[in-house]
Structure formats: structure tokens, C-alpha cells
Amino acid sequence: MVDKKVYKRILCVTDLHAPYNHPNSLEFIRGCNKAFKPDCVINMGDELDFSASSYHESSTELYNPARELEEGKKVIKELEKTFPSMMLLDSNHGSMAFRKANTAGIARSLLKPYNEMLGVSKKWTWHNSITLNTPNGIGILCSSAVIKCTAGVCRCIHERGTSSLSHQGVHSLH
């Protein structure tokens, strides 16, 4: 996603891992929002943990998958009150339901959209990469990617293509 607007204050929220987030995390995020008054909010991913659905061994002391989602949605709904509009990067934890469905051979089109799954508005949008204009130049935020920089050009390499950035701006998005 390439956004043409020039953003002066960008707040990045990352790795909330709801419902296992720190008890003061939402208060801290609200405080940052109030103090810095961002004109753009980006969630860098892992908004939910999905530990119970992980490909890795899960603790028996944590919630089962249904309870984990319900408790996580409560945290997400509180976050949405602070940020009714937000761009989020796809992430390994956030996309767990879609990854598990893919592993099981279930088409993504058979699943609920993520907004509906979480109970948030369509003003929350998920992206594989986000390109923003700032007074200091262009910034590229990537998910599920490797960022490689050589000779002043940075490339965000992921399964959906490559974005390149240098001090002169975006060279290519393909």
C-alpha cells in the first residue's frame, strides 16, 4: 500500500500479543497517542498472540483457542476506541487463522474477513507493506519480509514482491 499523504507524526504500535499483553500496555499506548498526537498510526503486527493455535507447542496453562480469541478481541476493541482508523501489517501471529486454514487446504475465501473475525470496523486495514511519505523522505514498512540494504538502496523482500527505497525515494514496487 502506497499512501501519498505526507505524515509528520507516525505512531507505531507493535507486538501487543493480546490477550497476553502487558496489563499497562493500552494505558501506555493511549498516553503516547495523547502526548504525540500522531497523524498516522501503524500497527506493526502481532496484535493477537494465537498461542493456542500456534504451530509450536503451547502451554496448557494458557487459554484454549476460542477463549484466547474472545479475550484478545476485548483488548483489540479497547485499542479500536483509541484508534478508530489504523493500518496494520500482516504478521505471523496475526495471520494465524489464515495460515492454519492454508495448511488444512481451506481456501481463504471460505473464512471471515479479519475485521469481522476481530469485530473491528473496515477502517482497520491490513497490508503486507506500507509506504509512507514523511518530511524526511519515504519510509517503507514491511511484514513477513527481509530488508536488505546495499549501496544506499533498501529492499523489502517478501513473497508478494520487492519494494526498493533509496535516499531519492521508491525506485520500484513490483
How many CB atoms are closer than 10 A to CB 47? 29
- How many Å apart are CA 116 and CA 120, to the nearest integer? 6
pTM (predicted TM-score):
0.76
- Does 96 have pLDDT greater than 60? yes
Q: Which residue has the higher pLDDT, 139 or 22?
A: 22
Q: Which residue has the higher pLDDT, 103 or 150?
A: 103
- Does 100 have pLDDT greater than 80? yes
- Given pLDDT bands bounded at 50, 70 and 90, which one contains residue 50? confident
- Does 52 have pLDDT greater than 50? yes
Largest CA distance in the chain: 51
Q: Residue 158 burial by CB count (10 A; 0-12/13-18/19+): exposed, middle or buried?
A: middle
Q: Which residue has the higher pLDDT, 165 or 11?
A: 11
- Does 152 have pLDDT greater than 80? no
| Strand order from edge to edge, sheet including 161-166 | 146-150, 153-158, 161-166, 169-173
- How many Å apart are CA 84 and CA 69, to the nearest integer? 20
- Given pLDDT bands bounded at 50, 70 and 90, which one contains residue 38? very high
Please tell me the predicted confidence (pLDDT) of residue 155. 52
Parallel, antiparallel, or unpaired for β 129-134 and 2-6? parallel
Q: Which helix (H) or strand (E) holds 171?
A: strand 169-173
Strand partners, 163: 156, 173
Please tell me the predicted confidence (pLDDT) of residue 164. 39
Strand partners, 11: 41
- The model's pLDDT over 103-126, given as tens digits with 9 standing for 90+, comes to 999 998 999 998 999 999 999 999
Strand partners, 149: 154
Q: Which residue has the higher pLDDT, 53 or 77?
A: 77
Please tell me the predicted confidence (pLDDT) of residue 171. 34
